[in-house]
Structure 1
């Protein structure tokens, strides 16, 4: 019985530690170092090599100026932290 009790105690301790790690996890907005209120474009997968960040929803940008056009480098991942636009009724 003592071994079962020790096993249950260890399992409970590991479960608590895992839960605490999930609670303290970084928010999704921190993916790839993309600041809040920005749209970030990355040349590589897994949110590496951020090449472009914009905070405007109405401006036009030439992605070729940022090295994000085919055939050399394309947008392989992105993070959109821009606020949702409100639509007029």
Structure 2
């Protein structure tokens, strides 16, 4: 991932984090689980930046893969939940 791509990923994460769903009272457990994925994504994106700083290609590849995996789970959350409830 290059610097421009990382900046775009941060913009996406910030948008998702600060535009939280509107609920009166406590969030349902499903939303809490989904929003936890955003925290994990932040950690991995930060680790990607660290790996680039120290020029560790293996770490960067691992963290990039983990970031992409977590964001795909986040993006496909409702599809995955429907599959789980059908079985």
TM-score of the pair, normalised by structure 2 = 0.28
More strand by share: 1
Normalised TM-score (structure 1): 0.27
Q: More helix by proportion, 1 or 2?
A: 2
